[in-house]
Amino acid sequence: MVRRSSPFGGQTRTSVLIALALLGESYPRQLSRLLSKPIYGVQEALASLEKDGLVASRSVGRTRPYQLNPRYFALAELRAYLERLAEPETELRNRIDILRRRPRRTGKRL
């Protein structure tokens, strides 16, 4: 069994930050599916990360997309660190690549 460190206080928090760094912006349900983690854990991690100022959210109708906080004082360093942490995460990178290549819905306007 390989133990990974969790530099941001927990495995879910770290995974969520890595995924947000790779995606740019995402929703709790999408993150839950990508990370194969329960939605409650992902929502809890996002809430605590937002409280700590690492992520920011906004309301879009009834949904709430999250992203790395653009006002975070060390955003460039945080992004570089998360991308470095994401290097060995080939499975997560593959899932995100598949997600981005998904075809547009038929008849959807550009």
Is 2 part of any domain? no
Confidence of residue 110 (pLDDT cuts 50, 70, 90): low
CA 92-97-101 angle, to 5 degrees, is 150
* Residue ranges making up the domain that contains 35: 11-87
Tens-place pLDDT, residues 40-57: 999 999 999 999 999 999
Cα 29 to Cα 106: distance, rounded to the nearest angstrom: 23
Is 105 within the bounds of a domain?
no
Kindly report the pTM of this predicted structure: 0.85
Domain assignment of residue 26, yes or no: yes
pLDDT of residue 2: 46
The CATH number of the domain holding residue 61 is: 1.10.10.10
Higher pLDDT, 106 or 29: 29
Q: What is the pLDDT of residues 54-86, one digit of tens each?
A: 999 999 998 899 999 999 999 999 999 999 999
> In what order do the strands lie in the sheet containing 66-68?
25-26, 66-68, 55-57
The per-residue pLDDT for 103 is: 63
Is the residue at 61 inside a domain? Answer: yes
The total number of structural domains in the chain stands at 1
Burial-class residue 65 by CB neighbours within 10 Å (0-12, 13-18, 19+): middle
Helix, strand, coil content of the chain in percent (nearest 5): 50, 10, 40
